[in-house]
Amino acid sequence: MEQLKEIWRTFRHRPMGMVGALMLFSVVFVAILAPWLAPYDPKERIDVEPGDLLAPPDAEHLLGRDDAGKDVLSQLMYGARVSLTVGFVASFMSVFIGTTVGLVAGYFGGRIGNALMRLVDFLLVIPDLPLMLVFITMWGRGLWKIILVIGLLGWTSTARLVRSQVLSIKERQFILRARAIGAGRLRIITRHIFPQVLPLILADAVLSISGAIIAESSLSFLGLGDPMLISWGMMLNFAFERAISRMAWWFLLPPGLAIVWVSVGLIMIGNTLEEIVNPRLKTHHLFDPRHMGALVTGMPPEAEAEVAAQ
């Protein structure tokens, strides 16, 4: 808890992170309040007359209408619910699995660790999207199946990250002393190792939410989304099939931009968190102005500062 507060204190002063957070919360806000904010029922075909199909934006329909005469803005607002649900639930799943696998593989090592890491390698080399397509085709379409597929296939990078951290933490002396006082394995992992990797997991989780949202959109765009739900990917799919040939940009652009908006927001938060918990990422030393001189003069920055002072 103390750590999270500490991270928040630093996070608050990072413009990039705060902008990202605002971007994310704007979408969360819209998603939660969709029933009240949306001007129309997204599934309702309002007094459809031939001219209303793919009608361009006007005062009544700010983002125009789709090929069935439904309001695009309302669809966009409801779509946020699906994207965020998939993003949060699937990424929670994958981070949970990845953390568990990483902790076990890192702490116990040996045969169990090796077996788990080979499984990770195996899953890493298979391209994710085709594999997801195969699973969805086999299982059938549905919101929970999509979440499950994304969650079950996305944990590998988390597992690697956590394992590498655990490998270094478990050699530290306070782990040895915890063993010396008689702490069991479970206690060492949960009380001593997990709190040390928690900040990293947090940053990783935020980044993986955007991954899950994009994965859901890709699946829906390819026509494997839940047919009963409106999601941004589904909208793209419909727009791509029916609207693009008629230059109906108001149907195609909003869902695309919404995906970009929320992903960029999440990535900004995630990168900021990563910078906070792992300061080495902050600036590449070559791009640090203090070090650039060293490249030319071959002098370390401290020496250079001294020369400059003279």
Cβ nearer to other proteins, comparing 2 with 49: 2
Handedness of CA 240, 241, 247, 252 (dihedral sign): negative
Q: List residues binding other proteins (CB under 8 A).
A: 2-3, 172-174, 176-184, 187, 191-192, 195-196
- What residue spans of the chain are helical by DSSP H? 2-11, 15-32, 34-37, 72-108, 110-125, 128-139, 143-153, 156-169, 173-180, 185-187, 194-221, 232-238, 249-277, 289-297, 301-309
Cβ nearer to other proteins, comparing 163 with 192: 192
Question: Which amino acid, residue 137?
Answer: T
What span, in angstroms and rounded, lies between the C-alpha atoms of 254 and 132?
25
CB of 205 to other proteins, least distance (A): 19
Q: What are phi and psi of 71, to 5 degrees?
A: -75, 125
Cβ nearer to other proteins, comparing 186 with 308: 186
CB of 170 to other proteins, least distance (A): 12
CB of 173 to other proteins, least distance (A): 4
Cβ nearer to other proteins, comparing 110 with 289: 110
Cβ nearer to other proteins, comparing 9 with 187: 187
CB of 187 to other proteins, least distance (A): 7
CB of 110 to other proteins, least distance (A): 12
What span, in angstroms and rounded, lies between the C-alpha atoms of 159 and 138?
26
Question: Which amino acid, residue 9?
Answer: R
CB of 277 to other proteins, least distance (A): 13
CB of 171 to other proteins, least distance (A): 10
**Can you give the three-state secondary structure of 174-225, one letter per residue?**
HHHHHHHCCCCHHHHHHHHHHHHHHHHHHHHHHHHHHHHHHHHHHHHHCCCC
Question: Which of 234, 236, 233 is closest to 215 using CA atoms?
Answer: 233
Q: Which two tokens stand for residue 85?
A: 């649900």
Cβ nearer to other proteins, comparing 39 with 279: 279
Cβ nearer to other proteins, comparing 62 with 167: 167
